[in-house]
């Protein structure tokens, strides 16, 4: 049986994702390794992967070439990008990977660029009848637009630079303070993430909504799975209008009793361990796709009201373990 090696890029703190792919490989009965890349040898996930490499930043012109070289050396079958900065870059290179027999679990460059732009995402969806937060650029703000509102960077992640706006004085201040801001309606209802996995024809095969009860640094700290038909229907509507491939997460809040999208990230979410634990094993499904198998849609097939509560853990590394080699620093024998 041909090994199925997986490459997780920008692994950083995504220890649970690395472990989830390792479990999926073991349960498949197929030999394979999970390889990780990062720019920093102190990133914890590289110490849980079966092998790890240091690579340049995603914005470096040699980034994709370095990933392709790792794919060749390690006989990679599946690449899993994980951060917004690299999604459009790797999405633009999907053909280069596929020519080497590598499936890339990310959407096309055009989809990544649209989703990275929070203003463009909401305008695009609203124009197509999909419920999305009303959004304005500074020059579009009407004089009679009244707070409460919400302001954040047009391109950003992790909740950095995002603030509620309670009055006109705060609005004027944050319009100057936030870099390239977008202003959105203030959605006071509960917050949800909808984890979605699409096949490579853009068809959703799994949709799992999660309530974000406690959020820390933009990532779910405590939350639960929910089976709200309105959230599942909204995710399906977004997938009809945008061409996705692989994992994505849709951020929503309630406007009254109806969910409204305020951003979409075409990658794995930070809360994906809850979705996997609830029975929607996205890594296992991706491994099936990587070997040419067909994954039948299983919308709503997950355990409802499963709670996740997270905590910090630490690694303690001796200096010899901190080194993270580039591919060129490894010998052929070491790679083999």
User: Per-residue pLDDT tens for 175-213?
Assistant: 999 999 999 999 988 999 999 999 999 999 999 999 999
Stretch among 67-71, 167-171, 219-223 having the lowest mean pLDDT: 219-223
Full domain range(s) for residue 295: 189-309
Axis crossing angle, helix 118-127 with helix 229-241, rounded to the nearest 10:
100
Same domain, 209 and 303: yes
Q: Rounded to an integer, what distance in angstroms lies between the CA atom of residue 136 and that of residue 152?
A: 11
In a domain, 167, yes or no: yes
CATH number at residue 172: 3.30.1490
Give yes or no: residues 321 and 258 share one domain.
no
Does 124 map to a domain? Answer: no
Statement: residue 336 has pLDDT above 80: no
% residues pLDDT > 70 (the chain): 99
Do residues 233 and 217 share a domain?
yes
- In percent, how much of the chain has pLDDT > 90? 88
Same domain, 155 and 266: no
Number of separate domains in the chain: 3
Task: Report yes or no: 299 and 232 within 8 Å, Cβ to Cβ.
Answer: yes
Q: Are residues 239 and 282 in the same domain?
A: yes
Specify whether the CB–CB gap between 131 and 121 falls below 8 A. no
**Taking 80 as the threshold, does the pLDDT of residue 320 lie above it?**
no
Per-residue confidence (pLDDT) for residue 1, from 0 to 100: 77
Identify whether residues 196 and 302 lie together within a single domain.
yes
Quick one: average pLDDT of 228-242? 98
pLDDT score at 79: 98
**Alpha-carbon distance values, 207 to 74, 149, 228, 293 (Å):** 32, 29, 11, 19
User: Which pLDDT does position 189 carry in this prediction?
Assistant: 87
Same domain, yes or no: 204 and 222: yes
Angstrom distance (rounded) from CA 19 to CA 12: 13
Q: Is residue 117 situated within a structural domain?
A: no
The pLDDT score that the predictor gives to residue 43 is 96
CA distance 275 to 159: 21
Span of 11-15, 140-144, 317-321, 325-329 with lowest mean pLDDT:
317-321
Q: Indicate if 158 and 269 belong to the same structural domain.
A: no
Instruction: Quote the DSSP letter at residue 62.
Output: T
Mean of pLDDT values over 147-161:
89
Asked, for residue 116, whether it belongs to a domain, the answer is no
118, part of any domain: no
């Amino acid at each position: 049986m041909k090994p199925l090696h997986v490459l997780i890029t920008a692994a950083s703190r995504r220890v649970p994702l690395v472990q989830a792919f390792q479990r999926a490989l073991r349960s498949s009965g197929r030999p394979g390794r999970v390889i990780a890349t990062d720019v920093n040898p102190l990133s914890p996930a590289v110490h849980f992967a079966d092998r790890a490499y240091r690579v340049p930043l995603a914005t470096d012109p040699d980034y994709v070439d370095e990933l392709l070289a790792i794919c060749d050396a390690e006989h990679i079958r599946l690449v899993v990008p994980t951060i917004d900065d690299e999604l459009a870059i790797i999405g633009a290179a999907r053909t280069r990977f596929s020519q080497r027999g590598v499936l890339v679990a990310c959407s096309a460059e055009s989809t990544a660029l649209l989703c990275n732009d929070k203003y463009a995402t909401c305008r695009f969806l609203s124009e197509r009848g999909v419920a999305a937060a009303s959004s304005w650029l500074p020059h579009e703000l009407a004089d009679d637009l009244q707070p409460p509102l919400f302001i954040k960077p047009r391109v950003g992640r992790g909740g950095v630079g995002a603030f509620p706006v309670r009055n006109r004085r705060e609005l004027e201040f944050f319009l100057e303070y936030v870099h390239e801001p977008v202003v959105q309606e203030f959605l006071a209802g509960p917050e949800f993430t909808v984890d979605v996995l699409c096949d490579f024809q853009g068809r959703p095969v799994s949709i799992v909504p999660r309530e974000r009860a406690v959020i820390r640094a933009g990532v779910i700290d405590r939350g639960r799975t929910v089976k709200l038909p309105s959230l599942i229907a909204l995710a399906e509507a977004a997938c009809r209008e945008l061409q996705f491939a692989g994992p994505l997460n849709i951020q929503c809040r309630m406007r009254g009793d109806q969910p409204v999208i305020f951003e979409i990230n075409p990658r794995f979410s930070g809360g994906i361990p809850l979705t996997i634990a609830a029975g929607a094993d996205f890594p296992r499904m991706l491994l099936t796709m990587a070997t040419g198998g067909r994954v039948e849609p299983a919308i709503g097939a997950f355990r409802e009201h499963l709670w996740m509560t997270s905590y910090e853990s630490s690694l303690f590394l001796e200096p010899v373990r901190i080194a993270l080699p580039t591919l060129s620093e490894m010998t052929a024998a070491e790679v083999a």
